[in-house]
A and B are shown apart, each in its own frame.
Chain A
Amino acid sequence: MTVDMWKNDVDTSNIVAITNAQNTKLWKSKELYEALENDMDYEIEAIKKRYKRELFEVVADQTGKIFDEDVLMVVWARRFVEYKRPWLLRMKIERFKHLIEKEKQPIQVIWAGKPHPFDQYGINLFNDLIKLCSTLKRAVVLVGYELKLSKLLKRGADIWLNTPRLTREAYGTSGMTAAMNGAINLSTLDGWFIEFAKDGVNSFVITPVDTSLSFEQQDDIDATNLMNILEDTVVPMYYKDKEKWLRIIKQSMRDVLPYFDSDRMLEEYYEKLYDV
């Protein structure tokens, strides 16, 4: 795709691909990695619960809802733009409400992110979700998605949800740093995720749709698949098969580093890009 776009136009520059990455000192949970190295599963669970409590203080402060550290925490947090589809999760509204409201094995949901300040469409999307959440016990929208909140969310998330329409995601770097903090990625297969994902091994993959279909059809299929994954795989595993859940967390932590560490990216910049 990348090269095709310019193939007829440019014969002068040399194009190389260098995979994006994130800095581990800034992002990685050191204590989770220590627990991983020492094979202390119970420690990983305990740390994640503490991270959830830290996040839930912000949730209560901003929204007046008290979340439960034993409930599966799904987070969707990034810029609010159309192609990232913040609304995909609530598209199948009855199924979504059931997941949130049911007494046994429910999910909790947090949305966060900034629409462009002059993009009324994006702001409306954001406000629609606030309105929806006002009727739901276990769903909230947080304001002020900046570095600090981003870190709290990645730490407190069990599922880091990313829903870009296929072929549109430039990168989606938040998934990398979520994995460095013991969150499991659930995403359409786009951006960085193509280079990372092994479905059911280190993450959960929304089966790719036929991109020749209309956006309406693609959105509908992706929304159905997302609900299916949550209902049939993610929720049962989180509540009934902790061992498998932890195995995926650990595999994801192992797979994301060192490849998605920006030290690797920097070194490649020097070797492939700066050596002009």
Chain B
Amino acid sequence: MDKKEFCKNKRIAYFSMKLAIDQCLKIYAGGLGFLAGSYLKSAYENGCDVTGVGILWTEGYYDQERDYEDYMKVEFRRKKYYFLKELFTTSITIHGEEVKVRAYYLDPSIFKTAPVILLSTDIEENSFLARTITKKLYDNDEDTRIKQEIVLGIGGAKVLDELGEEVDVYHINEGHAIPVAFYLYSKYKNVDEVRKRLVFTTHTPLKAGNESHHILKLAHLDFFNSVDLEEIKKDHRHLWGWFQFDFGCFAII
């Protein structure tokens, strides 16, 4: 693929909870995934140096089927993807527990996309609870959703580092992967170093459409990658209390 001039030599890591790449890879639900899938295809076609980072949802969103009387029925089934290549397993800390994160690789040649790293905690080495983290896209449990964000943000950035991938810009699609900011902060110990590497896109500029969690809950689950809360409080007093996702991202980036 010929590299377009506008791509220059920038290396982008694109983090998204949902990716609509192909019918058979069921890791999306709606518009956000469709947008991310289109982006990864265009990145491939324009020869841009983009790596996608997402979650390998064991059960996907869900299978929508019908019951005996024709009404809809929700089915959760384990999906298998023999076209993904298993890379390696790393570990991160979530809620004080060591959680193994396995990285899989989607080769660009398969669906004509930028290369994609997909993460799973649903592996034998993990506890039952840790395995549930990447089972369901849109899990109903608040703690699980926060843990998913930690896996994507911190797990994703860590896997890229262990792969030796040089990244110029970390792009988080919606606020979910914001823990990547705290991973980078732990690495560089400097807010400006984080800011110049991190960008964020939101597609839901509405308060109602935005996730928020109490900052102490987030800290308890290791959302901040061991960055001291007092340190966050010092720089971002206004983030204290409820951590509102978009707002948090704008304040940090």
Contacts and interface: CB of A to CB of B under 8 A. Distances in A.
Majority DSSP secondary structure for residues of A touching B? loop
B72 A130 contact: yes
B155 interface: no
A148 B31 CA distance: 14
B39 interface: yes
B84 interface: no
B31 A170 contact: yes
B90 interface: no
B250 A263 contact: no
Contact of B20 (A79, A147, A261): A147
A215 to B, nearest CB: 13
A182 to B, nearest CB: 19
A274 B65 contact: no
A42 interface: no
Contact of A146 (B23, B70, B112): B23
Contacts of A213: none
A135 interface: no
Interface stretch (B2-10, B93-101, B226-234): B2-10
A221 to B, nearest CB: 22
A20 B71 CA distance: 35
Interface in B204-253: 204-209, 238, 246-247, 249-251, 253
Given A117-B74, A274-B199, A170 B112 contact: no
Given A173-B31, A173-B34, A25 B199 contact: no
Contacts of A167: 206
Q: Looking at chain A, what size class is its interface with the partner chain?
A: 35 or more
Interface stretch (A9-17, A198-206, A229-237, A248-256): A9-17
B41 A26 contact: yes
Contacts of A66: none
B34 A274 contact: no
Nearest to A81: B30
A276 B38 contact: no
Contacts of A15: 250
B203 A171 contact: yes
A114 B45 contact: no
B112 A25 contact: yes
B48 A171 contact: no
A273 B6 contact: no
A1 B204 CA distance: 11
B31 A174 contact: yes
Contacts of A23: 37-39, 41-42, 45
B89 interface: no
B48 A266 contact: yes
B45 A79 contact: no
Contact of A12 (B10, B70, B207, B250): B250
B171 A270 contact: no
A15 B76 CA distance: 39
Contacts of A147: 20, 22-23, 28
B154 interface: no
Contacts of A13: 200, 249-251, 253
Which 8 residue pairs across A and B have the least CB separation, nearest first?
A23-B38, A2-B205, A23-B41, A262-B38, A262-B42, A148-B23, A10-B250, A79-B30
6 contacts: A12-B195, A23-B38, A26-B41, A144-B65, A147-B22, A266-B48
Interface of B: 4, 6-8, 10, 12, 20, 22-23, 26, 28-31, 34-35, 37-39, 41-43, 45-46, 48, 61-66, 70-72, 74, 76, 112, 138, 140, 168-169, 171, 195-197, 199-201, 203-209, 238, 246-247, 249-251, 253
Interface of A: 1-2, 5-6, 9-10, 12-13, 15, 18, 20-23, 25-27, 78-79, 114-118, 123, 126-127, 130, 134, 143-148, 167-168, 170-174, 177, 261-263, 265-267, 269-271, 273-274, 276
